[in-house]
Structure 1
Amino acid sequence: MDLAQIQPAGNREMEEMDSSTVPILENNFKKTHFPGMVRQKSYIFDGHGNYYSKEWDLIEGNGKQFCWYHVELPKGKQKLSQSAQHLIDVLCPPLKLQDILSLVSNGPFCGHVDGALVFRVNSPGPPSSNFTFRLAARVTENSVITVSLGRVPRLGFSPVGRSLLSEIPSVETPRGERQQGSSIVIREHVLEFLLTMNHSEEADNPVPKSVSNLVVHVIDTHVDHLQDVVTQLEMELDSVELELDQGGFALKKEMLDDRRFPKMHLNLQRLLQVIAHGEQVFPRVKEKGSSKHWFASEDINSLEELIGRLRRLKENVGFLANRVTAIQAGLDSWQSEQINRKLYYLSFLSIIFLPLSTITGALYSRLSAWRQRRSLLRNWSYNRRSFLRRSVGIQESGSGGYLKI
């Protein structure tokens, strides 16, 4: 599996369980038709704050135990039917076709499918886009199956000792000298990446003690992922505005040619669509979860807080969309000014050259008339000389009295 088995300190209850309570791993050697196409993670939780990696057997837990199976679909140019085939390959059996379709279809959904609570927030954009989000979950009393498009930050679990945030940082020296002590040097690009994160690392995730805790954790990571994308867009927009203030003609023309802001506006619309799906689905998850005896009341309150975060995030994205629209309008006005300036130059040149064209036309007409008159005079003189020659010839021949026949 992706994560090594973790042994909680001071708690050996999971090791002392007999074989009757531990799920039997029946499908350990199941062959798949698409090996390596999807990433799989599976955990088992004991309900007391401990978790272990387990085999991919799709078996539910017993008692307080519950299992989590996560499928990560690849972000690439593939059809929705291919994603469905990948899910069928790794989730069937025991899942049925209606379960697969409810997990992989586009659009928002929340309802019961074959006795399980299924919800999804799948956007219909291209899978290769960074602004296409797909998250679906199938929840029962002792198991959760989730499907995501690409990696979702902080979704999994890892040991606490591996967290970078729990280390003591130090500033990198100009000469690259290592400082004494147990602190870790944090480079500038690492800090830039961490500043775009609105959440902790996987090692800092609290281990869920119930299925409802796990559902809240999955939705929380989804909202954090959306918040990360919005933060990156804000930073990119700030840098673009600074470049526009300092840039000149070439930079503005390049941005217009690349259609940078229309593409950014399209990405923001896709992001708004995903947030709208969450606004439709997550309140229904809270409503349907409140009717389950295994869904804790504190998790209902946590879902309400996440819904409020999602609404505030929608307002931020709308503000970013207005900023992009304003920048695009400024570039359009600048482009129209450039066109008007060129038209002004052309009209100025036409004002200068219009009298010249009139004078040139008059001179050309006079020149053509002079050439025509000269050609007429030349033709008249030639005809006159030829007439005189003929007249002189007749007179010379008529001097003898008669013409020779």
Structure 2
Amino acid sequence: MELPEEEPVTNGEAEEMDREPSAEAPLREPHSYRSHCGGMVRKKAYIFDGSGKFYNKEWDLTEGRGNEFCWYHVELPKGHQKLCQSAQDLIGVLCPPLKLQDILSLVSNGPFCGYVDGALVFRVNSPGPPSSDFTFRIAARITENSVITVSLGRVPRLGFSPVGQSLLSEIPSVESPSYHRGEQRERSGIVIGEHVLEFLLTMNHSEEADNPVPKSVSNLVVHIVDTHVDHLQDVVTKLEIELDSVELQMDKGGFALKKQMLDDRRFPKMHLNLQRLLQEIAHGEQVFPRVKERCSSKQWFSSEDIASLEELIGRLRRLKENVGFIANRVTAIQAGLDSWQAEQINRKLYYLSFLSIIFLPLSIITGAMLLLALLCFSFPVLYTRIAAWHRSRVMKRSWSLNRKSFLKRTHGIGVQERRGYLRI
């Protein structure tokens, strides 16, 4: 079988082919999307049926149909990584179908609330280091049948667990066993350890199993904002407990403890963390009222959820006042430590001045004694020098006298010779 020979193409025909696009070839080549998801990025996907039930689903980023709606959550790792690395992780997880403008609106720092590509996007991202416990980042992309959220680290109570696995609904018992006639009597209920109680006391909310399952997208948005405010409240509660324990230690402690606190700069660091926390709360005060305003115009956002958002905004403002009180306490404690340090320095200076008053006369006497000892040690040398000088002077004087007497004698003999006789 012979292949048909190709006819040569002239330059003019080639130029026409370059100018006229072919109907078979596409005008723009499609991009091939590749997923580069980091190993530390965690993903959760839920689908809600709208009647109080939820199921885990695959990570396909599709929207729900009818009364169903989907929720996709990305948890970025808390570590020493740059913001561009977080953006790359989101690109690997959410692209496609999201575009670059969606990724930038979710991962950028600072507060934001607006529409991006037809979806409502809000973020409350702190500009601090990702490894800090006082750096909070939460962002959401909301449509009528799907919600995509991005958080930095784990947010307590954000997810959902099956009903019946909550520890708070169980009957507790103390950890220490009771003994009766050498035998241990077991009490009914779950034994709660001391460390578990300390952890539960720092929480201002229930567990994931106690979360009410949202029946609409508006319920889910309220749940996301509520968990973010609860997370901030947990951090504030831990700060209050830590500050109470520090005040108790300072009342019982002594010089070593206070000096260690000053050397570690504990309260300046705590004050810096409080300023970061206040900045995050201020971002929430800017964003959440705008979220409520934009959601109130949506038909699928219920009025009850609008009232819930208003209540959360008021709670955030009260939390800001509480953080301000804690900052004032930290400032007062730091001022007390500074005054204590100044008192210690003044006391040391007083002791030094007292010792200088005592040892100043002693220093004068010591100087005189040192001068006398110096004279005693240098007296033989001085005596030797003076004696040598005296001997040399005596020798010079005796030599001059002998010379004068010799000259007199020789001069007298010459005169007598001139007179013609010698004196016998």
Secondary structure of the residue aligned to 2:147 is strand
- Equivalents in 2 of 1:358, 1:181: separation in Å? 82
Corresponding residue of 1:156? 159
Work out which of the residue numbers 98, 114, 123 in structure 2 matches 1:120: 123
Q: Aligned pair 1:328/2:334, yes or no?
A: yes
Relative to structure 1, is the Cα distance of residues 380 and 160 closer, same or farther in structure 2, using a 3 angstrom cutoff? same
Hey, what does 2:239 align to over in structure 1?
233
- Matched with 1:204 is 210
SS at match of 2:44: strand
Looking at structure 1, the residues matched to 382 and 77 of structure 2 have their Cα atoms a distance apart, in angstroms, of 89
User: Which TM-score applies when normalising by structure 2?
Assistant: 0.82
Q: CA deviation at 1:151?
A: 0.2
SS in structure 1 of the partner of residue 164 of structure 2: helix
Q: CA deviation at 1:375?
A: 5.7
* Match of residue 24 from structure 1: none
Q: In structure 2, what is the equivalent of residue 184 of structure 1? A: 190
In the alignment, which residue of structure 2 is the partner of 1:303?
A: 309
Once residues 347 and 364 of structure 2 are traced to their aligned partners in structure 1, the CA distance between those partners, rounded to angstroms, is 26
Contact 2:178 2:185 in 1 (8 A): no
Paired letter, 2:146? S
Provide Cα deviations, 1:42-62, integer angstroms capped at 9, x if missing partner: 000011111100000000001
Asked whether the 8 Å contact 2:177–2:185 carries over to 1, the reply is: no
Q: Secondary structure at 1:162's aligned position in 2?
A: coil
Match of 1:77? 80
Encode CA deviations 1:336-364: one digit per residue, 9 max, x unaligned.
11111111111111111222223334455
The structure with the larger Rg is 2
Cα deviation for residue 166 of structure 1 reads: 1.1
How far the C-alpha of 1:114 sits from its partner, in A, is: 0.6
SS in 1 for 2:233: helix
Q: Is the 8 A contact 1:109 1:281 kept in 2?
A: yes
Which amino acid in structure 2 is aligned with residue 386 of structure 1? S
**Is the contact between residue 196 and residue 231 of structure 1 (CA under 8 Å) also seen in structure 2?**
yes
Match of 1:250 in 2: 256
Give, in angstroms, the shift of residue 161 of structure 1.
1.5
How far did 1:368 drift? 6.0
Question: Equivalent residue of 2:269, what SS?
Answer: helix
Alignment partner of 2:54 out of 47, 51, 54: 51
Q: Distance in 1 between matches of 2:351 and 2:52?
A: 76
- In the alignment, which residue of structure 2 is the partner of 1:348? 354
Query: Which ranges of structure 1 fall in alignment gaps of 5 or more residues?
Result: 1-29
* Distance 1:71-1:366 versus aligned 2 partners, 3 A rule: same
State the alpha-carbon separation in 1 of the partners of residues 389 and 247 from structure 2: 84
Task: Normalising by structure 1, report the TM-score.
Answer: 0.86
Percent of pairs identical after alignment? 77
Q: Structure 1 376/194 Cα, relative in aligned 2: closer, same or farther at 3 Å? A: closer
In the alignment of these two chains, the number of paired residues is 373
* Structure-1 residue corresponding to 2:42: 39
Higher mean C-alpha displacement, 179-188 vs 240-249:
179-188
Q: Give the 3-state SS of the residue equivalent to 1:69 in structure 2.
A: strand
Whether the 8 Å CA contact 1:37–1:86 is kept in 2: the answer is no
Residue aligning to 1:19: none
My pick for the range that moved more, 269-278 or 363-372, is 363-372
Counterpart amino acid of residue 153 in structure 1:
P
Q: Does 1:386 align with 2:370?
A: no
- Structure 2 alignment gaps of length 5 or more: 1-32, 411-424
Asked whether the 8 Å contact 1:38–1:72 carries over to 2, the reply is yes
Report the equivalent of 1:360.
366
**Contact 2:172–2:191 under 8 Å retained in 1:** yes
* One-letter amino acid of the structure 2 residue matched with residue 198 of structure 1: N
Distance between the aligned counterparts of 1:186 and 1:268, measured in 2? 32
Q: Secondary structure at the match of 2:63?
A: coil
Amino acid at match of 2:235: V
Whether contact under 8 Å (1:119, 1:281) holds in the other structure is yes
What SS class does the counterpart of residue 198 from structure 1 fall into?
Answer: coil
SS in 2 for 1:160: coil
Computed over aligned residues only, the root mean square deviation of the Cα atoms, in angstroms, reads 2.5
CA offset at residue 174 of structure 1?
Answer: 4.0
Q: Counterparts of 1:384 and 1:284 in 2: how far apart (Å)? A: 110
Q: CA deviation at 1:187?
A: 1.1
